């Protein structure tokens, strides 16, 4: 039976938040204003600070992301997203994890990107890495081709991500016990436990402890210089992220002022 390798995106394939990279790229193309970016950054901050424990935190993050695209044309965002993925996201993929993806492909394994990031961004990153496919969070599009601000299904996060992997496995006749999964977050423990070969990549404190106790491989790909700390799931990381969000707002205002 075929095997698969499932990969998380943020802090597993790339440092930081892919959604924030997308947002900054859209801002630099005058697609959004500084306050839109600040609102998105705040939603991400709330999720990272309390989202793991609080349903309300997840809802705030989700609503910020959906409001970010409400009323925007899906095709235009896809086109810009392709440029930004090639410019900002794909160059930041850790070389070591890219080699692991290649090794799985050479062994005949399917490779899937599973992320809470938007489906469109997930597909672009997966395509750029030659992966089999991707599943992200799907935003609803109306008959006019505009985002409605609603979701189709649930956020691809936590237990939902494990469910997606199992659905892919069932549909494609994949042997899950022989398959692998890679993630940085304790949130993805259900996904890691759904395969026979779980891997912790840049793990947070809780996942590192579990990986050590269970003898799972741990891949530490981060360098000492952390240029993108958006998305670090800890009190320190949350504070750093807030500073980064504020800093981006200041940067945006200064950029506007120079025009």
Could you give the residue numbers annotated as active site? 8, 10
Q: Answer positive or negative: Cα dihedral of 246, 62, 155, 77.
A: negative
Q: What is the C-alpha to C-alpha distance for residues 71 and 87, in angstroms, rounded to an integer?
A: 25
Cβ 123 vs Cβ 114: under 8 Å: no
Cβ 170 vs Cβ 152: under 8 Å: no
Nearest to 116 by CA among 135, 96, 97: 135
Give the ranges where 70-154 is alpha helix by DSSP (H).
Answer: 74-84, 95-106, 119-128
Count CB atoms within 10 A of the CB of residue 171. Answer: 8
Instruction: Write the CB contacts of 32 (distance below 8 Å, at least 6 apart in sequence).
Output: 23, 26, 68
Residue 193: strand, helix, or coil: helix
């Amino acid at each position: 039976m075929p095997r698969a390798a499932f990969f998380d995106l943020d802090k597993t394939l790339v440092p930081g938040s892919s959604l924030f990279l997308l947002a900054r790229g859209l801002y630099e193309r005058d697609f959004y204003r500084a306050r839109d970016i600040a609102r998105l950054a705040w939603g991400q901050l709330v999720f990272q600070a309390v989202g793991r424990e609080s349903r309300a935190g997840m809802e705030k993050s989700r609503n910020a992301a959906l409001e970010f695209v409400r009323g925007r044309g899906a095709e235009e965002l896809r086109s810009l997203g392709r440029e930004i993925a090639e410019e900002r996201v794909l160059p930041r993929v850790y070389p070591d994890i890219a080699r692991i993806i290649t090794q799985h492909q050479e062994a005949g394994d399917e490779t899937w990107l599973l992320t809470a990031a938007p489906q469109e961004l997930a597909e672009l990153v997966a395509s750029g890495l030659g992966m089999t496919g991707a599943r992200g969070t799907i935003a609803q599009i109306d008959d006019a081709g505009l985002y409605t601000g609603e979701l189709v299904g649930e956020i691809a996060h936590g237990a939902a991500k494990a469910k997606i992997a199992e659905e892919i496995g069932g549909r494609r006749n994949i042997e899950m016990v022989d398959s692998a999964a890679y993630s940085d977050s304790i949130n993805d423990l259900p996904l890691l436990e759904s395969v026979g070969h779980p891997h912790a990549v840049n793990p947070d404190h809780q996942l590192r402890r579990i990986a050590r106790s269970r003898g799972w491989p741990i891949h530490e790909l981060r360098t000492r210089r952390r240029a993108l700390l958006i998305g670090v799931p800890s009190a320190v990381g949350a504070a750093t992220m807030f500073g980064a969000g504020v800093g981006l707002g200041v940067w945006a205002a200064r950029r506007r002022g120079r025009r």
